[in-house]
Amino acid sequence: MAMALRPIDNALPVTPERPKKQAKVAVPVQKRSDSGVNDENQAPVPPSTDAAIDYVSSENLKPLTDPDSNNFIEGFDSKDWVKVCESLNNVRRLAIFHSDILLPSLEKVIEILMKSMKNPRSALIKTSIMASSDIFNAFGDQLLETSTTNAFDQLLLQLLLKASQDKKFVCEEADKALKALVKSMTALPLLQKLKPYVSHSNLRVRAKAAIPISNCVSMMGLEEMNQYGIVPLLQMAADLLNDRLPEAREAARSIVMGVFKAFTANEEEKQEAWQSFCQTNLSPIQAQSLLKVTSSL
């Protein structure tokens, strides 16, 4: 019997060895570190270097001691994205404190901003959006001149796309840039630039374009509205009133209210004059939707 027990005793250590070899429990730990959930494992991962990026507000930027836009443009060729962010911040300083030096290279700089916004790294995207705001504030309507207008059109599209993203901090920064754009430019030409995007296939882009359009309208008088065309403006608003996103519908209501106030400013019978205009120049469905917005006034 003692001889028969030996193989049984020898078999016992074999079974626990198998679960020991299943040290594959480490696999989910690696997955967590890749997704950024496990803080302890983030140190060696590239995203940890985002902490080295300092998102400096425009008010806290300092002038450059030796400004030279060409040197900073060369810095964008670096494969080190941290250095590219530094170059973007230097462009911001040029825009704020040395705009005359940056002006000859403005088209090239806008192209660089667009390239950075398309980069998958969020730090580059946000810094390039911040640079866009500073450039809008520095140059305003100059961006609509022939030499830069095509580049500006592409930059505007990128901003609307970034404002439509799911990444909250990127989206919020793009919203700030769009607000800076409205404040820095003449309303009428900017409205003309924004108009095509309310027909964009992406419903979030439509909504993001509708908001600055409504802000432009709020800054326009009746004369500027007539230059653009009150009827096309109201037709655009009527279409947005039926949009799927509430932001677009709210912007449309703001547009209607802005046009109503400007159109009826010198009218004694405001509702009657407004109703007559809408029913004469718009389709019955469009007129009805606009009159519903203003009926409570």
Q: What pLDDT score does 94 carry?
A: 94
How many Å apart are CA 1 and CA 203, to the nearest integer? 82
Per-residue exposure over 238-276, b if at least 16 CB sit within 10 Å of its own CB, e if not: bbbbebeeebbbbbbbbbbbbbbebbbeeeeebeeebbe
pTM of the predicted model as reported, rounded to 2 decimal places:
0.80
CB–CB of 247/200 below 8 Å? Answer: no
Q: What pLDDT score does 296 carry?
A: 83
Q: What pLDDT score does 172 carry?
A: 96
**Nearest by Cα to 162 from 176, 150, 149:** 176
Query: What's the average pLDDT block by block, 10 residues per block, for the chain (297 residues)?
Result: 44 45 40 43 47 82 83 81 91 94 92 93 95 97 88 95 94 97 97 96 97 97 96 97 96 98 95 97 97 91
Q: Which tokens belong to 157?
A: 């599209």
Q: What pLDDT score does 67 carry?
A: 84
Q: What pLDDT score does 117 carry?
A: 95
Q: What pLDDT score does 149 carry?
A: 87
Q: What pLDDT score does 41 carry?
A: 53
Q: What pLDDT score does 188 carry?
A: 96
